[in-house]
Chain A
Amino acid sequence: MIVGCLLTGILCGMYLDIPFLPYCKDISSYLLAFLVFQAGLNLGANSDFNYMKANFQWSSFLFPVFTIGGTLLFSALASILLAMNLWDGMAIGCGFGYYSLSSIMIIQLKENVIGMDLASQLGAIALLTNVFRELFALIGAPLYAHCFGKLAPISAAGVTSIDVCLPAISKYSGQEFIPIAVIQGIVLEIATPMLITFFCG
């Protein structure tokens, strides 16, 4: 269903004259706001806060470090595999699913270094990589929870563990992992631009 909706959208965008095309960006930010509001409602109305509190551990604040470390290490491996510049690969991996910000930042930061054409190509790779990451996180959540433990859907989601993937995390990891997901979302939203600046510098 998830892939179907995206593919239908892509095909419609390619072949049809969509009347709302100029407003796509606005529509998606309103939809995201609506989604986040519903996720909040759902948390507030249907969760057991005492249970969450009883299971809360301060080590939750360390968890984003694992996500960042794992992503960086394997992004570096991927860039070796693809014969890409190691730093570029790590900068792209550091988007953590934050496709809008990471692609714009990479283009802006790299423009003066490698020229507009190469920079926008890198930006396009960053955009697609992080779109794929969000999709993998959404589609694969039950699989990761089953094979790699209940924390895996959170780290796969990256930045989106606080918004788009939060409902899936609550469903497949369990309510007690929601605080960790929210903490990771906030930490990565702050860390992403810093890491990208670092790796592009």
Chain B
Amino acid sequence: MNILTDYFDNMLYLSILIIGLLTGTFCRKISLFKKLDTSISATIWTMLFVFGVSIGSNKELVSNVGNIGLQAFILAFCGVAGSVLAASMAFSLFFKKKGGRHEK
């Protein structure tokens, strides 16, 4: 099973996040770090491109997309809709009671 390796990967990414966080905290003066927004966007775009390539080259997936694409779209749409509605409930429960401190 690949599940154990996946767990290991998650811990790896969490440690990378923490290492980055510590590096950032101790090197606040480096002005290059102010431009991280741009490089983060660029990295996300590159990732999506590479990901697109691996989807596009998966012939089985591409040939089935007509059948399963709509189902997947509806499932994803409903999943996002449900969680977003739950989040809006949580937001009014957790935050609005306390005098709207979080509202801008």
A contact set with B: CB distance below 8 Å = 1-2, 5-15, 18, 20-21, 24-25, 27-29, 31-46, 49, 55, 57, 59, 62-63, 66-67, 69-75, 77-79, 81-82, 84, 89, 92-93, 96, 100-101, 104-105, 108, 121, 124-125, 127-133, 136-138, 140, 144, 148-152, 154-156, 158, 162-164, 167, 171, 174, 176, 182, 186, 189, 193
Contact = CB atoms under 8 A, between A and B. Distances in A.
Contacts of B34: 45-46
Contact of A84 (B12, B71, B79, B102): B71
B44 A164 contact: yes
A45 B73 contact: no
Nearest to A60: B94
Q: Which 4 A-B pairs have the closest CB atoms?
A: A9-B52, A40-B20, A44-B24, A13-B56
B79 A78 contact: yes
A117 B81 CA distance: 30
B33 A101 contact: no
Given A66-B89, A124-B68, A131-B55, A45 B27 contact: yes
Contacts of A121: 64, 68
Contact of A40 (B10, B21, B56, B84): B21
Given A10-B55, A32-B13, A55-B102, A104 B33 contact: no
Interface in B23-80: 23-28, 30, 33-34, 36-37, 39-41, 43-58, 60-62, 64-65, 68-69, 71-80
Contact of A138 (B22, B44, B84, B90): B44
Given A41-B36, A71-B82, A148-B88, A132 B13 contact: no
